[in-house]
Amino acid sequence: MAHAGAYARLLSMRQRPLAAGLTALATLSALFPLPLLSKDPVRAKHGMVVAQERQAADVGVEILKQGGNAVDAAVAVGFALAVTHPQAGNLGGGGFVLIRMADGRRAFLDFREAAPGKATRDMYLGPDGKPTRDSLVGWRASGVPGSVKGLGEAHAKFGTKKWAELVAPSVKLAREGFPVDEGLANALSEGTKSLSTDPESIRIFLRGGHGYQLGEIIKQPDLAATLGRIAQNGPQDFYEGATAHKIAQQMSAHGGLITLDDLKNYKVIERAPLEGDYKGYHLILPPPPSAGGVGVLQMLGMLDGTKFTAEGPDSAMAVHFMAEAMRRFYADRSEYLGDPDFYNVPVKMLLDPKYIERRRAGIDPEHATPSDLVEPGLPRALAAHVSQIESSETTHFDIVDEQGNAVSLTYTLNAYFGNGVTIPGTGILLNNEMDDFAAKPGSPNMFGVIGGEANAIEPGKRPLSSMTPTIITRDGKLFMVVGAPGGSRITTGVLQVIVDVIDFHMNPQDAVDLPRFHHQWKPDTLFLQKNFDRGVEAKLTQMGYIIKPIEGVARVEAIVVKDGSLEGGTESRLWGKASGY
């Protein structure tokens, strides 16, 4: 069996003369059941932004060129995505940002949406006691948005440029418009059903029912006016100013829950990041209410000490050990993770090396473990049943500036275009993040997933999330910035790209393009991307896995620092951009 290092050496030969390259190709094909990945990453010397929409990525790079730091650029990209990537970029949603400054300072800001003060435990149950669709569509589905205040807090702590200068590019994009590219055209087509439930969304995003064609200009004057007020008056306009009053008035008129007091009282919460080590690398990760940081550290801990790398990336052995680690983490996730302000999350116990060793010991190196035989591993007294389906329609971006400051930011409306509602007179699309709570604790929701007490609805509470913005250092210096959208698959997608870079020595473009897989304990199914090697799939079936093809596993983006340069990768099959200078 070949060592993973051989894979890296052979992969590097693609840049040598043709004969050597053909020899490398033949050798690599014999060693590994994978197609040769050959797309180089984008390289830059001074600064880089990797985002899922090209114009927003370029906005961030322009801020870097003008002397702004990574946090300045993140503010500009965050607002730009609210214009150019409306299916997930937002003013009306929330998320997490992880920041590491070049001098070693770090911060994790939780600006996740919160349940409104009028929210009640059973608010989404119908007369028959079963969950309704009110947590998904319409005005009552929205939690209190945190994105504007989250970007504001990041700027207040670490920004260097004037706030108005950072919001100005998004104002211009909304006012003057921009051409609809393939990514937005596809999103508008896929989101038609949701957007069609709201007259204002039909008017703005479906052009009164006529739709947008590729290359046509989309303008959003109401959103431009809202962004202009935020640029002039700061984030407080969204929470206490003219915009806040517009939101509260329309909520009241349409039966929504969010009040002016909810907006005024919303707080960004700064939490200590989770940190851990893996094979000489230091990982900085999000704490609860993200499940992602615990998941990545726990799964890497289970993999460490196994021979999962022996047959190369995406081999049957690699997939097997990683899937078994995933299976065990998601069993724990279903019981123990929630909002730490409402529930005592046993993070130390979940990450205790002896506990992780016990979990690893339960992995059969040659056979899949049926999920019915895998249970949450801590004492039953800690059980809380928090598992919940999450939408995959989130967005993420990574930024590194010339000084080595780094930002990893994931934020969301939850579903495509959130709850489908655009607040009249503002251009703001609302989230449907209330669906991430357990509508009926202890009973299956409409997706067949059991939710429970730790993720039950309570005023002010924040739902559990899989968002996993991550920063990795080596020997005290920045090494990697990575993250993704993708709902409950975010954590496994980010894990795989980290492993592909660290263990299999791949560049970030090859790593994000490599076919991925996902196991979440229940259902007892191994999801493989449709372009996965059929020979590997056959071996996994023989090992006892139940396999189901899937279009994608998260949408991972990464920046790696190598030899003083920045290398960026975003999936080639999609429409993002690694932009640098």
Provide the annotated active-site residues.
394
For residue 403, what are its two tokens? 């000084």
What count of Cα atoms within 13 Å lies in the side-chain half-sphere of residue 265?
Answer: 12
DSSP character string of 421-471 = -EETTTTEEPP-GGGGSBSSTTSB-TTS-B--GGGB--TT----B----EE
Pick from 438, 473, 485, 574: which is nearest to 106 by CA? 473
Residue 307's CB is within 10 A of a number of other CB atoms, namely: 12
In 307-430, the DSSP E strands lie at 394-400, 406-412, 422-423, 428-429
Four-point Cα dihedral 408, 436, 191, 525, nearest 10: 90
**Residue 85: exposed, middle, or buried by beta-carbon count in 10 A (0-12, 13-18, 19+)?**
buried
Does an H or E element contain 253, and which?
helix 242-253
Phi, psi of 17 (to 5 degrees): -55, 160
CA 347 to chain centroid = 21
Any idea which residue has 């039953």 for tokens? 380
Handedness of CA 143, 248, 168, 149 (dihedral sign): negative
Signed CA dihedral, 83, 89, 92, 97: sign only: negative
Which helix (H) or strand (E) covers residue 155, if one does? helix 147-158
Cβ atoms 412, 483 nearer than 8 A: no
Radius of gyration (Cα) for the chain, nearest Å? 23
- How many Cβ atoms from other residues are within 10 Å of residue 542's Cβ? 12
Helix (H) or strand (E) segment spanning residue 84 = helix 70-84
